[in-house]
């Protein structure tokens, strides 16, 4: 099938799972034999597949001259207008999406496609316009409720615009692909979407990466971070995500250290620079600066070598609206890497991880429970291996190609 894949290309300039998700889905569509064209709704242009799939691709956003001038002005006068540049970027994004819709409409008038696949973004409406004006079948992918994203990025002034656009997208989409069962429930109960219109495709994993781990590279990393004689607890992911409860996590780790004084236990954080300062301050207050190690930015293709350093993988979430979409890539990659997992018992995670079988699940905010779960695994190597093996078997269900197959079923392929 001929597919046009729409997304905000600025995703490719960030250090996040979103970029990995886009690359993985494009790759899976190609692997299934589809002809896919990738269209950047921010810059209004086609991005060649080889550039999208290249993790080293240097994405450069195209800005209108007027916005370049205004950005310069707001930066220059930032002390008087501290939030001006943030709001200006949102206005530019809205204008760019409108411009991209004009460009794409002309493109699709010349070159027909079988359906549009759009990754939902704040203010995004390009797929909606194409469906409304050209009648092309429209599949919308949603990973997080946009109202949550507005709160995360402190953009409350744009709440009404975002709410109206999301309602339109949901109305015009022929099918909606969501990243979790919790998000499906949210759309049915809070947005009034019919259940038969929604398909759940959890995040996936590329098993090729985990089958080609460079053991020598892992040993070099172990020496680099001085982990040769230590048991390692680890976290992989973006440090700034508001749904992550690092406060509970590091309080529990501090308590774990206090009851295991004779054993060397380190905490390895494999994450982005953004958000590090806040976590560093938290660690310093708990006197853990010598026990917690931050890596530099790690390319996604190198994550398996770093995961191989870890004995116990952890992730701690708050229980709030955002937790309807926490069947995250990091957890599935922990599973693929055969890691013993300690995770929050929140919607969706409790469906892919089974407490006591493939992981230990702890109630959100339970510091003592989290400490005890980590302590059990610190002291029981056999249990760590058992949980890791069970998790790995379950992870085989979650591949990007399987996600594309679900989308194909929508069109009876």
Q: What is the mean pLDDT of residues 274-303?
A: 91
pLDDT of residue 322: 47
In the predicted model, what is the mean pLDDT of the chain? Answer: 87
Is 139 within 8 Å of 145 (Cβ atoms)? no
Domains of the chain: 2-204+399-410 (3.40.50.2000), 207-395 (3.40.50.2000)
pLDDT band at 265 (very low <50, low <70, confident <90, very high): very high
CB atoms within 10 A of CB 312: 24
Instruction: Sort 215 into a burial class: Cβ within 10 Å, 0-12 / 13-18 / 19+.
Output: exposed
Is 291 within 8 Å of 323 (Cβ atoms)? no
Give the distance from CA 127 to its chain's centroid: 22
Is 79 within 8 Å of 325 (Cβ atoms)? no
Q: Which of 32, 3, 22, 1 is nearest to 404 (CA)?
A: 32
pLDDT digits (tens, 9 = 90+) for 23-74: 999 999 999 999 999 999 988 999 999 989 888 887 776 665 455 545 555 5
- Residue with the bigger pLDDT between 180 and 369: it is 369
CA distances from 42 to 84, 158, 209 (A): 20, 18, 30
- From CA 232, how far away is CA 310, in angstroms rounded? 5
Q: Which of 34, 45, 49, 56 is nearest to 8 (CA)?
A: 45
Predicted TM-score (pTM) of the model is: 0.88
Candidate from 53-62, 90-99, 146-155, 281-290 with smallest mean pLDDT: 146-155
* 171-189: b (≥16 Cβ within 10 Å) or e: ebbebbbbbbbbbbbbbee
CB atoms within 10 A of CB 51: 15
* 320-347: b (≥16 Cβ within 10 Å) or e: ebbbbbbbbbbbbbbbbbbbbbbbbbbb
Two structure tokens written together for 95: 């204008």
Two structure tokens written together for 214: 């460079």
DSSP 400: H
């Amino acid at each position: 099938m001929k597919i046009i894949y729409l997304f905000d290309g600025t995703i490719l300039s960030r250090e996040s799972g979103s970029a990995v998700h886009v690359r993985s889905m494009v790759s899976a569509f190609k692997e299934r034999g589809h002809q896919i064209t990738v269209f950047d709704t921010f810059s209004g242009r086609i991005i060649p597949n080889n550039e999208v799939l290249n993790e080293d691709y240097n994405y450069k956003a195209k800005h209108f001259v007027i916005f370049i001038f205004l950005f310069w002005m707001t930066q220059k006068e930032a002390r008087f207008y501290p939030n001006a540049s943030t709001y200006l970027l949102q206005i530019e994004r809205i204008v760019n999406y409108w411009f991209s819709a004009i460009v794409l409409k002309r493109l699709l008038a010349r070159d027909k496609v079988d359906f549009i696949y759009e990754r939902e973004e704040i203010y995004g409406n390009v797929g909606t316009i194409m469906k409304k004006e050209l009648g092309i079948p429209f599949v919308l992918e949603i990973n997080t409720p946009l109202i949550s994203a507005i709160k995360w990025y402190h953009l409350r002034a744009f709440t009404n615009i975002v709410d109206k656009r999301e309602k339109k997208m949901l109305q015009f989409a022929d099918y909606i692909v969501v990243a979790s069962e919790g998000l499906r429930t949210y759309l049915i109960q809070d947005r009034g979407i019919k259940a038969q219109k929604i398909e759940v495709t959890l995040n996936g994993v590329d098993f090729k990466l985990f089958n080609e781990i460079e053991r020598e590279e892992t040993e070099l990393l172990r020496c680099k971070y001085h982990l040769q004689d230590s048991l390692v607890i680890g976290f992989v992911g973006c440090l700034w995500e508001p749904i992550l409860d690092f406060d509970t996590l590091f309080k529990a780790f501090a308590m774990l250290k206090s009851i295991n004084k004779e054993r060397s236990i380190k905490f390895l954080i494999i994450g982005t620079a953004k958000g590090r300062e806040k976590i560093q301050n938290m660690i310093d207050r708990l006197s853990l600066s010598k026990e917690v190690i931050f890596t530099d930015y790690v390319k996604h293709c190198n994550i398996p070598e770093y995961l191989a350093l870890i004995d116990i993988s952890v992730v701690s979430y708050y229980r709030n609206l955002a937790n309807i979409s926490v069947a995250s890539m990091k957890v599935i990659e922990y599973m693929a890497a055969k890691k013993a997992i300690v995770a929050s018992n929140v919607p969706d995670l409790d469906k892919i991880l089974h407490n006591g079988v493939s992981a230990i699940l702890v109630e959100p905010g339970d510091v003592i429970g989290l400490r005890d779960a980590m302590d059990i695994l610190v002291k029981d190597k056999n249990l760590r291996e058992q949980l890791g093996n069970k998790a790995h078997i379950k992870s085989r269900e979650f591949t990007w190609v399987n996600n594309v197959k679900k989308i194909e079923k929508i069109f009876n392929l």
